[in-house]
């Protein structure tokens, strides 16, 4: 198990979608069903694009749209629009909510 897996939960990720000042996730229509996909991506480091879609539990078209929204807000990164492998993105608004006090560990 990687370091992040001990600290990240569906609830923490879901709360990060709504609790930060910008509510970037909600403004872009990010669904709570995306939480398991984000957790899997963060803990694994990268995943095939189709596995991210599977983790959302959505049917194919909504899953594709959801992945596009996750990329748009920076939670998922893709080298090209058609890359088969995606990696986690940790925008500051999200990282500070799921890893509170992380900056203190490096002081």
Give the DSSP letter string of 34-89: GHHHHHHHHHHS-EEHHHHHHHHT--HHHHHHHHHHHHHTTSEE-SSTT-SEEEE-
Domain boundaries defined on the chain? 3-99
Tell me the pLDDT tens digit for each residue of 43-63.
Answer: 899 999 999 889 899 999 999
CATH 1.10.10.10 fits 3-99, yes or no: yes
* pTM of the predicted structure, to 2 decimals: 0.74
Would you place residue 31 in the very low, low, confident or very high pLDDT band (cuts 50, 70, 90)? confident
């Amino acid at each position: 198990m990687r370091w992040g897996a001990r600290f990240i939960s569906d609830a923490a990720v879901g709360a990060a979608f709504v609790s930060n000042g910008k509510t970037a996730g909600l403004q872009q229509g990010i669904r709570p069903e995306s939480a398991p996909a984000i957790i899997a991506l963060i803990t694994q480091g990268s995943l095939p694009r189709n596995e991210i879609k599977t983790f959302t539990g959505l049917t194919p078209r909504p899953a594709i749209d959801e992945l596009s929204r996750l990329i748009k807000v920076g939670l998922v990164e893709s080298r090209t629009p058609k890359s088969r492998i995606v990696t986690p993105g940790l925008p500051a608004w999200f990282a500070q909510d799921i890893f509170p006090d992380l900056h203190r560990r490096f002081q």
